[in-house]
Amino acid sequence: MGRSRRTLPEELLLLALDPTTGTTAQPQSLDLGLAGAQLVELALAGRIAPDGDRIAVVVPRPTGDPTLDCALELLRRRGAPVRAVHWIGGPRLGLRQIYLSHLERCGMVAAVPGQMCGVLPTTRYQATETAISREIRSRLDSAIRTGVPPDPRTAALAALAHAVGLGKHLYPGNEGRSSRSRLRDLIRHDPMGGLVAHAVMDVQNGAAAQPRRAPAPAGRPAAPGARPAAEPARGVPMQPHHGSMARAVAH
């Protein structure tokens, strides 16, 4: 995968970055969205594919992106398809900071140190390549305005933006209501984006914590009152260390 092209996690993060405050909108759900965006990017690269509500590795060859390849390797090690909701619902291990640090190294954002309450050190991020942010936003606006089915990347970005709650950030107020509705409707244009977006929303609604009932052995009914077995939740892999990960991010 050429690094000249921005990945979906990077684009989602740039969409969420508030140009006025230097903070990210919807920080808690955004972490889930970044994990989901990694899955969609790996699918667009032909490395994984949906298998029902699960994700299966089809080509384990690295993409050349260290953060994506870390996720791909952990998926490969599972040895069996993993439910998207369990993967996305796993612990977020600095994923947002990794992508902010990457965007800073690429010159697309600038870190601005500060303090919270005059004591706690914080870091805010200002977009420096505003043309890139405008281009990303323009793709969404065009898909919403024209009604023409967007390309899979834009459709997936729209689905993820809706899933993490960026609609009110991108299209605020009553005047943005119809745009928010059309943003939600774009979820149907990309199967993988739709699967991941619904998984993100399910995690936020607590669906990832719901246990799955284990089937009873053949010919033997489940014991009365027996507790259903839960499928263990598996999350985002440990990410590669970057020197600027230690910075605190103001939310």
Q: What is the pLDDT of residues 178-227, one digit of tens each?
A: 999 999 999 888 899 999 999 999 999 986 555 444 444 444 444 444 43
Task: Return the pLDDT at 207.
Answer: 63
Cα distance from N-terminal residue to C-terminal residue, the chain: 32
Low-confidence ranges of the chain (pLDDT < 70): 1-4, 92-93, 115-118, 207-251
List Cβ neighbours of 119 (8 Å cut-off, separation of 6 or more).
Answer: none
Residue with tokens 């791909």: 72
Which pLDDT score is estimated for 58?
97
Cα separations in angstroms, 158 against 41, 56, 245:
14, 23, 28
Residue 51 pLDDT: 92
What pTM was computed for the model?
Answer: 0.78
Contact 249, 97 (CB under 8 A): yes
3-state DSSP of 58-114? CCCCCCCCHHHHHHHHHHHHHCCCEEHHHHHCCCCCCHHHHHHHHHHHCCCEEEEEE
CA–CA dist 190, 158 (Å, integer): 10
Alpha helices per DSSP H over the chain:
8-16, 27-44, 66-78, 84-88, 95-105, 130-146, 152-163, 167-170, 177-185, 191-204
Burial 19-37 (b: 16+ CB within 10 A, else e): eeebbbbbeebbbbbbbbb
Look at residues 141, 160, 242 and name the one whose alpha carbon lies nearest to residue 199: 160
Q: What's the CA gap between 37 and 27, in Å, rounded? A: 15
Q: What is the pLDDT of residue 153?
A: 93
